[in-house]
Amino acid sequence: MNAEEMSEFRRFFAAMRPERRVQLDRIGTPNNEAAVPFMYALSAFHKDFVGLKQYVRGFTDELDTDLRAVVIVIALAHLFAGTSIHSSVFAQHLRIPPTAPARLAARFGDKVHGLLLEERPGYWRTTHSLVAKQILLELLTPKEGSGTADPESWRFALPDWAETLIGFVSDAATGELPIDSDELLQQLFIKREVRHDGDKTKYSELIATIPSEARERVFQRLTAEFPEEAHFWAHYSRWQSFEARDHFAARQSMDKALQRDNSDPTLWHMRGTNVRRELYGFLDAHRFQATTPEDRADAQTVVERLAKEAIGDYNEARRIDDRSEYPLISTAELCLRVIEWGKTVYTASSYTQFLNRPSSQFFAELLDIAEDSADAIIELEGDDKESRAVAQVRSRLKGIYDDYNGMIQGWRNILDKSSGSKTAIRVRLAHLYGLRNGGWDTATKADISAAMTLLNESLLDNPTDPRTVRAWLSAGRHSGVSLNRAAEVVSHWVEYINSRDALYYDYVLSALSALNGALSSSEDLSRKVTLMRSRSQDFEQKRTIFDWVGKHEGLGQLINKAQVIEWDRSIAGSDPSALRRLQGRVNTISNPKSGTILLANDVEVFFTPSAAGMLAGQDNNVAVTALVGFSYDGLIAWGVERKA
């Protein structure tokens, strides 16, 4: 079709379906081979177009056996992977010599013009996803037998054709799997759709469409043809665990995946989820059957082993990549599920009664892990709204604390009688003192003092314990802790582990000391900020302000973002009463979106000149005031105003 004819068809069908104008305008760009009258009708009426079946049948009835196979595989790739497929994949099937190019256009002739499209040299797809679906319906639905065929019967041929596609790709791969072929197989068999609620579907669309009883042989063929592909083994393992419930086989397949790549956090997370699924099956099977003390003890032994194994796998996934909340959510959910199971099996009337038992130490440790996971998620969320899964975890966690006073008394008794390490119990108790007040900023002086006593005792035993230091810094903001003491505590922590939050507090305390007149080195602060930025360069929330400079003294001048959560930063002059304005001078204005301000002791702070109405070459060295926040990317000035 020429340009004038295409324009006329667009006008004609757009008049009938104006809401489809965008789709109609796309026809013929960038490839005019798709510009046939049929495509205008299909784009206009979409699934309501009644001529689709007859149109496709007019092509498929003329195809020989070899070309039918090619068309089916191209349709599979387009419908289920949304992509084209290279003609070299069909070379062996079409008996084309290895040294000769696989020119499908010459092989097809005019037989598929309007059905298939060479969108770029050598890459073929169908002209429309609805055409791809209709091709499969026409060519895979059984033609023999009496009566009307089941409209879903075409699905029963999918396993065979999935294997055929795998075979074609394998035949064409002379060595390492080409990138485009690997992406095709990943899209077809591995990658799962992310739904609107953030959850993923169980399987890829193709695997989900294949009848469940035939899925295993597709995974078997995939791993047999490409035994070095770790993710193929991992997803075969996932199927064995999730659908076949063959946990032994699932472990074997996952071991093969990790033997090929043990540095992929996704594989470790999948392994942990397989073990968690095995654990959940055991919990369900032994919820009411374990009736004697011996049965309960035996069941708990298995539960402890599986829970620790799964948590270990999730921890490994997080060690490799600590930017994802999925291992944290999975860990917290597992811990809560096991605690809930324990309360039921041991017939406790409340969680307080259950967790206060000296023999429930394992379950109390799981509560600690769940709390730590929930706290770590806060860092990953930044200013984003919490997900549904995170909200559910926090709601379930809150439900565990059915009697704060009773829990505190019970764990106090356990602490007094304990002869081993007391760190975990002390941190747990300190956390409870904050929880029963609704947070440290509303806690009583007595509870803050009790918590700090416990945490200081833990620091004496182990000054590098991350859980103790984090809890100490949270409670310490409300107990008059000096900046020097806080810096001392953090210095031990940051030497022990270079976690994001350790490096964050290290630079924040140096900055606060400088802002309060300490004779600290600007070079030392700059070095710490650089370390922080390097550690957080791929962190999505690195620009989130987690804390602000407040009006109190010592560590108390560090105001957490949760304390000013109601503040609408878009409203000028709406400074929260807890925050303190600092004085400084504009140092640099690189462009409208990037500048720096120098505060006391040459502490450098980023600001956005355009938001403050300031221009390069005009407002350098202007005296200003600003609220100052701390992010993983350094200090940020907010609400910058010219000093009156």
One-letter amino acid for residue 643 of the chain: K
> How far is Cα 268 from Cα 314, in angstroms, rounded to an integer?
7
Which pLDDT score, from 0 to 100, does residue 46 have? 61
Last-in-domain residue among 470, 495, 521: 470
- Rounded to 10°, the helix 158-172/215-225 angle is 10
For the chain, first and last CA: distance in Å? 70
Last-in-domain residue among 470, 491, 508: 470
User: If we measure between CA atoms, which residue out of 332, 338, 399 comes closest to residue 372?
Assistant: 332
Domain count, the chain: 3
Record the tokens describing residue 133, joined without a space: 């679906």
> How far is Cα 529 from Cα 523, in angstroms, rounded to an integer?
10
Do 485 and 446 sit in the same domain of this protein?
Answer: no
* Cα dihedral value 576, 577, 580, 581, nearest 10: 60
One-letter amino acid for residue 413 of the chain: N
> How far is Cα 366 from Cα 342, in angstroms, rounded to an integer?
11
> How far is Cα 134 from Cα 49, in angstroms, rounded to an integer?
12
Judged on CB neighbours under 10 Å (0-12, 13-18, 19+), 126 is: buried
Last-in-domain residue among 187, 214, 248: 187
Which pLDDT score, from 0 to 100, does residue 177 have? 83
Element (H, E) at 638: strand 634-642
Do 315 and 285 sit in the same domain of this protein?
Answer: yes
Is residue 28 assigned to a domain? no
The alpha-helical segments, DSSP class H, found in 141-264 are 158-172, 179-185, 205-209, 215-225, 230-242, 247-260
Beta pairing partners, 637: 628
Is residue 395 assigned to a domain? yes
Do 361 and 454 sit in the same domain of this protein?
Answer: yes
Do 559 and 443 sit in the same domain of this protein?
Answer: no
- Residue 322: how many CA atoms within 13 Å on its side-chain side? 13
> How far is Cα 26 from Cα 537, in angstroms, rounded to an integer?
39
Kindly report the CATH number assigned to the domain that includes residue 643: 2.40.50.140
Is residue 637 assigned to a domain? yes
Do 376 and 510 sit in the same domain of this protein?
Answer: no
Judged on CB neighbours under 10 Å (0-12, 13-18, 19+), 93 is: middle
DSSP 177: P
Is residue 74 assigned to a domain? yes
Is residue 539 assigned to a domain? yes
Beta pairing partners, 559: 548
Q: Is the dihedral of CA 281, 282, 284, 285 positive or negative?
A: positive
> Residue 594 contacts by C-beta under 8 Å, 6 or more apart in sequence?
606, 608, 609
Q: What are phi and psi for residue 148, nearest 5 degrees?
A: -85, 130
Is residue 6 assigned to a domain? no
> How far is Cα 536 from Cα 504, in angstroms, rounded to an integer?
10
Do 305 and 432 sit in the same domain of this protein?
Answer: yes
> Residue 413 contacts by C-beta under 8 Å, 6 or more apart in sequence?
356
Do 618 and 501 sit in the same domain of this protein?
Answer: yes
Do 388 and 503 sit in the same domain of this protein?
Answer: no
One-letter amino acid for residue 166 of the chain: I
Do 182 and 292 sit in the same domain of this protein?
Answer: no
Which pLDDT score, from 0 to 100, does residue 196 have? 44
Q: What does the chain come to in residues?
A: 644
Record the tokens describing residue 148, joined without a space: 């009307």
> How far is Cα 533 from Cα 507, in angstroms, rounded to an integer?
11
Do 496 and 530 sit in the same domain of this protein?
Answer: yes
Tell me the residue range of the domain where 61 lies.
51-143+150-187
Is residue 2 assigned to a domain? no
The alpha-helical segments, DSSP class H, found in 265-402 are 265-285, 293-320, 326-345, 351-355, 361-381, 388-400
- Per-10-residue mean pLDDT of the chain, 644 residues long, equals 69 70 68 59 62 83 91 97 94 86 81 85 89 93 68 93 97 85 95 63 92 96 97 97 97 98 98 98 86 89 98 98 95 98 94 95 97 93 83 94 96 91 96 96 97 98 96 97 97 94 97 86 89 94 96 96 90 91 97 96 96 94 97 97 90
Do 385 and 334 sit in the same domain of this protein?
Answer: yes
Which pLDDT score, from 0 to 100, does residue 146 have? 46
How many Å is the Cα radius of gyration of the chain?
A: 32
> Residue 464 contacts by C-beta under 8 Å, 6 or more apart in sequence?
492, 493, 495, 496, 497
One-letter amino acid for residue 612 of the chain: A
Is residue 283 assigned to a domain? yes
Do 285 and 402 sit in the same domain of this protein?
Answer: yes
Judged on CB neighbours under 10 Å (0-12, 13-18, 19+), 143 is: exposed
